[in-house]
Structure formats: structure tokens, C-alpha cells
């Protein structure tokens, strides 16, 4: 394994003909760099950003990049610091990254990062294992921090869910600090789009996502993450499988697995498939978002319809 120092952290490199990734070894699990070969990192770089964890003397550092949390967000549990070294082992076409079991929660986080071929595609499996002595209700929560300044593309449900078309077909959950009148949010019928050049404050909202994907366009590069949606399952946060968060330093595209009761010794996994596309033009309109979705085959997959 090729070890590289990046943002003052020891990292292991994973690459193919199209992409380069760096996975942190000093802390984590984290994917801290994602780029086309020889190009700039599209992930946020936040070496100095940290938040408190109640009951812990050490802060939880974001570092940037992609991380694994476990829902629901309870600061005493969710914000547990992951500032210690992780175990990294080679697997076929990828790496498996395992964190030590959290003393407070009894939960253990693992990420399997795979480059399935030589295209600009990454498969990330997120696993939460209950190594504690009692049951825990939780869900894997996959969070990707990206550099601000681009446009988030968040598809919305457009299909009827009953034959007569008289039932509601979409919902949104808002966090208290979100200004729904923000000029950064563009409310469309098929897509919500957010300009991520915020100067102050924060915003967060979430929604069930039967389309199964979230996108971000920045500097002619389109980043997309796919995650299966299970319409019969129960999700945290008003039954939301996708979250969006933004503040001036970064934005987050987030997906969750269904709410799950884990007994001692049990685990649950949640998969995302990432793709990078470039050059991609985008004018911020719904028609162009439709064109991007059709060109890059982002329409709802059979897997997300199950």
C-alpha cells in the first residue's frame, strides 16, 4: 500500500486510470481526497474544523472528505471523536478500513472502498457493527463534505403514489436554523438546487429520495452519489433517506440506510456508488438538470424502486 502524507495525516492511496483517492490511516475512517488523476481534490479540506462532543475532553475533528456516522444525531453518541488510527487492509480492487469499537456506544465503523473497474466510479460500503452488550437502534449515515462554490442538484419525486393522483408525493424536513426564504435555494418542481456560496449561517433539509441519487456541480465537474431507496422501510428524520447541509466552509451530501435495531453482534451495511463526470456544463435550470440526468443515466434505477 502506498502511504502519502496529506493535510498532516498519514493516508493510503487508492487509484485507477481515472481516479485518485486518499484514505486516512492516522484517523478515521475517512476518504479525504477524491479527484480525477492529476486534478484537484473535489472534497472539502478542513484540517482545523472541530465540534464538541458532550462528556468528552477531545473534540470531534471533521478533517473534510467523506465520513461514516450512525443515526440518529445525538451529540453524546454521534459526535464521538474518531481521531485515532484505523486498521486498513487490502481487498480485491480496494481497501477495508476499520475503526476501533467506540467505548461509549459499543458500535464499530467499517468502510470498504472499491474501484470496480478503470472508470471514474467508486463503490463505498458503510457498515456499523454492534459490539456492545445490548440492542441499539441506529442506521448507517454516509456523509460527503465537498468544497463550496458550486450547485447542489437534488432530485424530487414527480410520480403519483396512488392511481388517482390525489395523495401527496413528496415531503421535506427542515432544521430550525434553515431559512427557507434563502436566495441560495432554487425551488423547482423536479429538482431543488442550492448555490453553495453561502457567506454566513447554515441550512439543512432532508427528504425521502426514491430517485436514489444526489449531485453536485463545481468547476465543470459533476459528482454524483447513488444509494438505494427502500420505499417500505422506515428512515430517521421524518422518513428521510437523503440530507443536504451547507455552511460557508463546506456542503454535505448525505444518505442514510433504514432505521434498524441491532442486537449485540449484529451489523448493518449501506452502499453508495459514486461517479465523477467532466467536462459538464450546467446553467442552473431544471431543463439542464434533466439533460444531465439523462446523459449520465441518473434516472431512478430498478434497485431503488424495490
Q: Which pLDDT score, from 0 to 100, does residue 1 have?
A: 82
Q: Kindly list the domain boundaries of the chain, sorted by start residue.
A: 3-305
* pLDDT tens digits, one per residue of 277-293: 999 999 999 999 999 99
Q: Whole-model pTM?
A: 0.95
* pLDDT tens digits, one per residue of 154-173: 999 999 989 999 999 999 99
* pLDDT tens digits, one per residue of 23-77: 999 999 999 999 999 999 999 999 999 999 999 999 999 999 999 999 999 999 9
Cell numbers standing for residue 16:
485507477
pLDDT category, 303, cuts 50, 70, 90? Answer: very low
Tell me the Ramachandran region of residue 239: left when phi exceeds 0, alpha when psi lies from -120 to 50, beta otherwise: left
185 contacts 172 by C-beta, under 8 angstroms: no
Say whether 114 sits in a helix, a strand or coil.
Answer: strand
- Element at 294 (helix H, strand E): helix 286-295
* pLDDT tens digits, one per residue of 213-241: 999 999 999 999 999 999 999 999 999 99
Region of poorest pLDDT, from 59-63, 149-153, 254-258, 293-297: 293-297
Share of the chain above pLDDT 70, in %: 97
Q: Which pLDDT score, from 0 to 100, does residue 224 have?
A: 97
Mean pLDDT across 243-266: 98
Rounded CA gap, 23 and 219, in Å?
Answer: 24
Burial of 71 (0-12, 13-18, 19+ CB in 10 A): buried
Domain with residues 3-305, CATH architecture: Distorted Sandwich (2.70)
How high is the mean pLDDT of the chain? 95
Q: Which pLDDT score, from 0 to 100, does residue 299 have?
A: 59
DSSP character string of 236-293: HHHH-SEEEEEETTEEEEEEEPPPEEEPTT-EEEEEEEEEEE-S----S-HHHHHHHH
pLDDT above 70 (res 301): no
Grid cell 487490502 in the structure block, residue: 90
pLDDT category, 296, cuts 50, 70, 90? Answer: confident
For 198-235, give one letter per residue: b (16+ CB within 10 A) or e.
beeeebbbbbbbbbbbbbbbbeebbbbbbbbbeeeeeb
Q: Which pLDDT score, from 0 to 100, does residue 302 have?
A: 33
Amino acid at each position: 500500500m502506498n502511504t502519502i502524507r496529506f493535510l498532516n495525516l498519514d493516508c493510503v492511496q487508492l487509484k485507477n486510470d481515472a481516479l485518485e483517492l486518499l484514505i486516512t490511516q492516522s484517523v478515521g475512517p475517512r476518504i479525504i481526497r477524491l479527484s480525477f488523476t492529476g486534478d484537484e481534490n473535489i472534497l472539502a479540506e478542513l484540517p482545523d474544523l472541530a465540534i464538541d462532543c458532550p462528556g468528552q475532553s477531545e473534540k470531534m475533528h471533521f478533517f473534510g472528505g467523506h465520513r461514516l456516522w450512525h443515526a440518529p444525531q445525538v451529540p453524546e453518541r454521534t459526535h464521538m471523536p474518531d481521531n485515532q488510527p484505523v486498521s486498513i487492509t487490502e481487498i480485491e480492487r480496494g481497501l477495508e478500513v476499520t475503526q476501533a469499537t467506540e467505548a461509549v456506544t459499543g458500535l464499530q465503523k467499517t468502510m470498504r472502498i472499491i474501484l470496480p473497474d478503470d472508470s471514474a466510479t467508486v463503490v463505498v460500503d458503510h457498515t456499523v457493527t454492534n459490539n456492545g452488550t445490548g440492542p441499539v437502534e441506529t442506521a448507517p449515515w454516509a456523509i460527503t463534505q465537498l468544497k463550496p462554490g458550486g450547485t447542489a442538484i437534488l432530485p424530487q419525486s414527480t410520480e403519483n403514489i396512488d392511481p388517482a393522483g390525489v395523495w401527496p408525493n413528496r415531503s421535506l424536513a427542515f432544521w430550525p436554523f434553515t431559512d427557507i426564504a434563502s436566495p441560495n435555494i432554487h425551488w423547482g418542481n423536479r429538482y431543488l438546487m442550492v448555490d453553495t456560496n453561502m457567506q454566513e449561517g447554515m441550512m439543512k433539509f432532508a427528504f425521502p429520495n426514491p430517485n436514489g441519487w444526489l449531485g453536485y456541480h463545481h468547476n465543470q465537474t459533476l459528482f454524483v452519489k447513488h444509494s438505494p431507496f427502500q420505499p417500505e422501510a422506515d428512515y430517521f428524520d421524518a422518513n428521510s433517506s437523503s440530507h443536504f447541509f451547507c455552511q460557508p466552509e463546506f456542503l454535505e451530501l448525505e444518505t442514510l440506510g433504514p432505521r434498524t435495531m441491532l442486537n449485540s453482534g449484529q451489523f448493518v451495511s449501506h452502499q453508495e456508488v459514486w461517479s465523477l463526470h467532466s467536462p459538464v456544463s450546467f446553467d442552473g435550470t431544471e431543463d439542464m438538470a434533466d439533460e444531465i440526468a439523462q446523459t449520465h443515466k441518473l434516472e431512478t434505477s430498478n434497485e431503488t424502486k424495490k
